[in-house]
């Protein structure tokens, strides 16, 4: 199935949805444990002026779970191939890619492999590496703590979701949004979530940053437990054509908690 780029096949596999109209095409890519529905706060600002491509990675949302291959999806490159498959099947080019969290890096990997599909990259709360690797880099987490977090998925999956959701969404944000994210985590099959979690939290793509030639926008939150403002500055310094926008906010999901502010950043960038 991975070599079949028929539009209908890929549309079913990745639950591809297209909304809006416009001369420019934006592709929105969700983060770990989420699906395309998380973009619903931002899409109303986009669909009047742009064609917007929404999708679910295999193993997430309403994708075709039968297409899941543990070997492929044990690394972020496997998720990047989902993006490239969609671009090929739908004959996309010069897209403005908008990725949340780990999808920022997934989109970066896709753009390095097939640059002509992309015009610009926008990264919402990105991090190239979540690990603390002193003395040169502090990603925010010790390896032992992340190993314990992954092990909790096996021991107590509900407890893992209960712990992670407020950390990601930000405890000062709307309780309903925290509950929604927790529900999204819980509804994702652990057989799919665990490989994605390991690929997300233990990867290190810092050295790829300076290979990115597309104009890039990094949008960071002032108070984000997963990706600090310092990481935003680090990425901006490492990427040849990057600009940094900082939004006064709590949490890691700016596209849900501050969609209007994110849209203002995107509008200027586009």
Residue 2, pLDDT score? 45
CATH number of the domain where residue 238 is located: 3.40.50.1820
Does residue 228 lie within any of the structural domains? yes
Does residue 197 lie within any of the structural domains? yes
The Cα-based distances of 123 to 84, 175, 218, 219, 265 in angstroms read: 17, 25, 5, 6, 11
- Options 85, 100, 101, 255, the catalytic residue: 101
Does residue 255 lie within any of the structural domains? yes
Q: How many domains is the chain partitioned into structurally?
A: 1
Rounded to an integer, what distance in angstroms lies between the CA atom of residue 16 and that of residue 22?
A: 18
Residue tagged 């989420």 (tokens): 34
* Full pLDDT tens readout for the chain, 270 residues: 345 678 999 999 999 999 999 999 999 999 999 999 999 999 999 999 999 999 999 999 999 999 999 999 999 999 999 999 999 999 999 999 999 999 999 999 999 999 999 999 999 999 999 999 999 899 999 999 999 999 999 899 999 999 999 999 998 888 999 999 999 998 889 999 999 999 999 999 999 999 999 999 999 999 999 999 999 999 999 999 999 999 999 999 999 999 999 999 999 999
Q: What 8-state DSSP symbol labels residue 67?
A: G
Does residue 84 lie within any of the structural domains? yes
Does residue 193 lie within any of the structural domains? yes
Residue 224 known to be catalytic = yes
Residue 241, pLDDT score? 96
- Options 56, 82, 85, 224, the catalytic residue: 224
Show the domain range for 116: 7-269
Does residue 69 lie within any of the structural domains? yes
- Residues near 58 by Cβ (< 8 Å), separated by ≥ 6? 13, 14, 64, 65, 67, 68, 69, 73, 82, 192
Residue 252 known to be catalytic = yes
- Residues near 142 by Cβ (< 8 Å), separated by ≥ 6? 131, 132
Residue 3, pLDDT score? 53
Does residue 28 lie within any of the structural domains? yes
Number of helices (H), then strands (E), belonging to the chain: the values are 11, 9
């Amino acid at each position: 199935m991975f070599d079949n780029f028929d539009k209908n096949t890929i549309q079913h596999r990745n639950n591809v949805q297209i909304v809006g109209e416009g001369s420019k095409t934006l592709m929105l890519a969700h983060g770990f444990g989420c699906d395309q529905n998380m973009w619903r706060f931002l899409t109303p600002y986009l669909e009047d002026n742009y064609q917007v491509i929404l999708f679910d990675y295999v193993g997430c949302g309403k994708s075709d779970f039968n297409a899941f291959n543990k070997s492929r999806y044990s690394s972020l490159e496997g998720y990047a191939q989902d993006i490239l498959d969609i671009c090929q099947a739908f004959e996309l080019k010069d897209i403005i890619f908008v990725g949340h969290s780990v999808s920022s890096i997934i989109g970066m990997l896709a753009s390095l492999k097939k640059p002509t599909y992309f015009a610009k990259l926008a990264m919402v709360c990105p991090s190239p590496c979540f690990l603390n690797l002193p003395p040169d880099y502090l990603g925010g987490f010790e390896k032992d703590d992340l190993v314990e977090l992954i092990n909790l998925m096996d021991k107590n999956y509900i407890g893992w979701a209960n712990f992670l959701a407020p950390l990601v969404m930000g405890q000062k944000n709307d309780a309903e949004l925290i509950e929604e994210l927790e529900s999204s985590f819980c509804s994702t099959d652990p057989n799919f979530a665990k490989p994605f979690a390991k690929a997300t939290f233990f990867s290190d793509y810092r050295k790829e940053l300076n290979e990115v030639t597309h104009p890039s926008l990094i949008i960071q939150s002032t108070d984000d437990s997963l990706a600090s403002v310092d990481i935003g500055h680090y990425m901006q310094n490492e990427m040849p054509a990057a600009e940094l926008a900082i939004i006064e906010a709590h949490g890691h999901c700016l596209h849900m908690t501050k969609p209007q502010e994110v849209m203002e950043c995107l509008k200027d960038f586009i």
